[in-house]
Chain A
């Protein structure tokens, strides 16, 4: 940007607060996705929207120093996770992508349902975050 940077103090302050709320909301959507509206796709989109908010308030360099992640790798890891979840079912002699779930007594959370589908959903989540950020960063960097 050639123009002189204007003082965005209000935007930046609000962003500091809001982006965490958005992030939290996205985690909620992701984790509750199995039983309530939400899931990896929307969760991922909203996570990246919180990062986009950071991008808008600050700039590419700052965000990159906050999140020193190459998002293409994130997408790759997500894809790998999704495929490995499917391959994992082979270990138990089940067809590809067979999911299972169970209820466990966890220390703080109490009785919790844990499903292998969540790992798959995590893959979806990571892919969505990865690709959204890759697209936005690439287009943003172009100038």
Chain B
């Protein structure tokens, strides 16, 4: 285990100390201790840029379950490092923010930071691990820690609902992904992603290619809140705002993007990948931005905005698949570049926006946009942060969102030039959808900003007297928006340090040994279509925002009964109630029903085996002659059995059962089994006596001498069992393949066992072991009866007192 492994595991290890710090160092906010770790990790990861920049990677193996090929292999390349820096960097800022956001006195800080560290470690594991099984482990850990963080205020109904919803959706996606990983393992015989990429030719031609791809995409889409799985994200906004900022905007939701990017070299050459990834992403983008406009809760707007922006990134990743077919010309790889660039940009402006919303919530007591207004003069710094964040989100200059939006349009416009994957027919759809989505993005961004900060201040609707946030709370968002601005002016500080190595790991096969992707980002390309599109967005968006009250009505066109949330709720209740109903249907609580199932199962299984395997056979060979006694005794037994079944009173049934038993003893006599006959006689006597005892003690109340009612099912089932057992007996005695070992016993009973009674010698000598446990059984039965009766007497005595 090397330092790298410890770097990934350090948050988990550190989490062990947190409860003690929270308990014994009460005077210092626990967050200060926590802050050290992400900062250190960030500093630890930062110099590695130099390594990935020169095209090198770092691989370090720690054997975990080598016999299964599951090793804790850390693999650092451009993509992994980019995510690691995002996680630790934004993790540090969020921790700092949370110190001022969460009250030391009112909140349970220990659990909060334990969950947060757990999440950080899990997320680092997801992005830096090469082994898919270990990746899956960390993946589920992110789901779990996210669940814990969403339900942090567990006394609120909505928090619990949101936490359960997110867990259900992300874990079902995660399980699908596990299935995909296992399929990939079946194809390539390796759990290592590196190894899989090397065997891409093998994977491509395999039958399991499509199932594996779809399963892995399901995992990625659920985690990254794509349509129709995005519904957990708006409900996850019940989490404390630092959590929303960290998990649900900057890191966890990007785990799905990471997986899509990571598995691009394996799947991206197929048309299915291109269509699924780009269309789902694009549709999610439009859908999310469209629905963000109607939200009235600030965090809901941001949640839908996150959904939309993630869709945008994913659609770009999907579109970039074309690069694999056209070679590595910049013309096609721009989509991948835009995706990575926007990934970083989104983390900066969405993180800062969440923090700004958290400040507004913290200082005014509400997040409802209808109650807010006129905060511009009261909270100038927060306003500035929000302005930069929203303008960047809307894609306006001079902020970084503008650049990535331009690149997004570029990549979408280039789709129309594809002559691949049958894009020609629908290629025009891409830029149109992208543009429509961007218009709505513009509208909700403006709504977010102006409805909150402009207009009239409504102090009577606010819980608190609004005022500017403490400086500590402002530090993190200010740093983030500083990035947002500076990335516009100096985007190329990222180009060859982060974006190029990351692209290199998404499409490793595209480059020759010393080539590099051309990732120079420029602010101005001249007056091209993209700029005109942005201008159109601003014009149409402004009109749309100003006339919003007029066209708000279209949201009512969507029937509230047909929303995805309602579908989810219905599905959950349906599953709960349905399984309850199904269980209630067959778990009746009546033993007779369960016996019916068992016997019916027996008939179906045995009868089915007879039919399918043709197991039935019948020969008269080796049969003994039937004598008069046998016939007479059989007739007696049949009539006694019939009498038992059709008896009107229980006493008759008991007596005729006794007749059956004594006839059996007689059968033992004529079939020359004296020991059996003796034992059968005595035992039958005793059991009849016990039956009579039971009969005598039947409670008086219920003692209506009822004849048994006839039930058709019971009749059929019992007839079936009888027939099957008879057939089984005939078939098994007709197909004797081996001689019996009985001859050994008769031959050696005297010289080995020292006795002439073969039965007895077998019982006590040859097979004495069985006998020993049979007498144990008898003893247990006796003790059982004894204790049952004795303890019952005691209880009665107690209740009588």
Contacts and interface: CB of A to CB of B under 8 A. Distances in A.
Interface of A: 29, 33-42, 45-46, 49, 72, 75-76, 78-79, 82-83, 86, 96-97, 99-101, 113, 115, 117, 120-121, 123-124, 127-128, 130-132, 134-135, 138-139, 141-142
Grouping DSSP codes into helix (H, G, I), strand (E, B) and loop, the A interface class, with mixed when no group exceeds half, is helix
Given A34-B757, A115-B754, A130-B779, A83 B785 contact: no
Given A72-B783, A115-B755, A139-B785, A42 B678 contact: yes
Contacts of B693: 139
Given A33-B760, A97-B772, A99-B764, A39 B675 contact: yes
B754 A131 contact: no
Interface string B86-112: 000000000000000000000000000
A35 B755 contact: yes
A45 B683 contact: yes
A36 B769 CA distance: 21
Contacts of B690: 139
Interface in B635-680: 674-675, 678-679
B680 to A, nearest CB: 10
A46 to B, nearest CB: 7
A59 B782 CA distance: 21
Interface string B749-766: 000011111011101110
Contacts of A127: 775, 778-779
6 contacts: A34-B764, A37-B678, A37-B757, A42-B682, A76-B779, A101-B753
A121 B764 CA distance: 7
A86 B761 CA distance: 15
B771 interface: yes
Nearest to A40: B764
B757 A38 contact: yes
B686 interface: yes
A53 to B, nearest CB: 12
B241 to A, nearest CB: 71
Interface secondary structure of B, over-half rule = helix
A46 B765 CA distance: 22
B786 interface: yes
Nearest to B771: A124
Nearest to A123: B775
Contacts of B456: none
B609 interface: no
B776 interface: yes
B786 A138 contact: yes
Contacts, number: 127
B768 interface: yes
Contacts of B782: 72, 75, 130-131, 134-135
Contact of B775 (A39, A46, A82, A139): A82
A138 B786 CA distance: 6
Given A34-B755, A86-B772, A97-B772, A39 B764 contact: yes
Contacts of A113: 754
B797 to A, nearest CB: 13
A44 to B, nearest CB: 10
Given A130-B782, A138-B789, A99 B682 contact: no
A131 B764 contact: no
B793 interface: yes
A121 B775 CA distance: 11
A35 B769 CA distance: 20
B785 A135 contact: yes
B764 A120 contact: yes
Contacts of A75: 778-779, 782
B768 A99 contact: yes
A38 B764 contact: no
Interface residues of B, number: 36
B756 A117 contact: no
Interface in B496-522: none
A97 B769 contact: yes
B155 interface: no
B698 to A, nearest CB: 15
Contact of A132 (B678, B686, B753, B754): B686
Contact of A36 (B683, B757, B765, B783): B757
Given A37-B675, A39-B764, A128 B789 contact: no
Contacts of B763: 39, 41
B781 interface: yes
The 10 closest A-B pairs by CB, nearest first: A101-B754, A34-B755, A131-B782, A37-B674, A35-B756, A127-B775, A45-B682, A117-B764, A39-B760, A134-B782
B675 A131 contact: no
A130 B763 CA distance: 20
A134 B786 contact: yes
B700 interface: no
Given A37-B678, A39-B675, A42-B682, 15 more contacts: A34-B757, A39-B757, A40-B764, A42-B679, A49-B682, A75-B779, A96-B769, A99-B754, A99-B764, A117-B765, A121-B764, A127-B775, A134-B785, A139-B693, A139-B785
Contacts of A97: 768-769, 772
A79 B776 contact: yes
A135 B776 CA distance: 15
A117 to B, nearest CB: 4
Nearest to A82: B772
B775 A78 contact: yes
A132 B678 CA distance: 16
Nearest to B790: A138
Contacts of B783: 72, 134
Interface string B19-55: 0000000000000000000000000000000000000
Nearest to B756: A35
A35 B757 contact: yes
Contact of B755 (A41, A49, A117): A117
A142 B480 CA distance: 84
B789 A139 contact: yes
A86 B767 CA distance: 12
B207 to A, nearest CB: 55
B263 to A, nearest CB: 60
Most buried by B among A79, A123, A135, A141: A135
Nearest to A125: B775
The residue among A33, A36, A41, A72 with the most chain B CB atoms within 10 A of its own CB is: A41
A82 B777 CA distance: 13
Contacts of B678: 29, 37-38, 42
Contacts of B760: 33-34, 38-39, 121
A138 B679 contact: no
Interface string B780-801: 0111011001100100000000
A57 B792 CA distance: 28
Contacts of A115: 753-755
A34 B756 contact: yes
Nearest to A36: B757
Contacts of B764: 34, 39-40, 99, 117, 120-121, 124
Interface in B694-745: none
B240 to A, nearest CB: 66
A71 to B, nearest CB: 8
A124 B779 CA distance: 10
Nearest to B682: A45
A35 B524 CA distance: 112
Nearest to B679: A42
Residue in B675, B690, B755 whose Cβ sees the most chain A Cβ within 10 Å: B755
Contacts of A42: 675, 678-679, 682
Nearest to B775: A127
B679 A41 contact: yes
A99 to B, nearest CB: 5
Contacts of B778: 75, 127-128, 131
B789 A46 contact: no
Contacts of A29: 678
A127 B781 CA distance: 11
A132 B756 CA distance: 28
Nearest to A100: B754
Given A124-B775, A142-B789, A38 B675 contact: yes
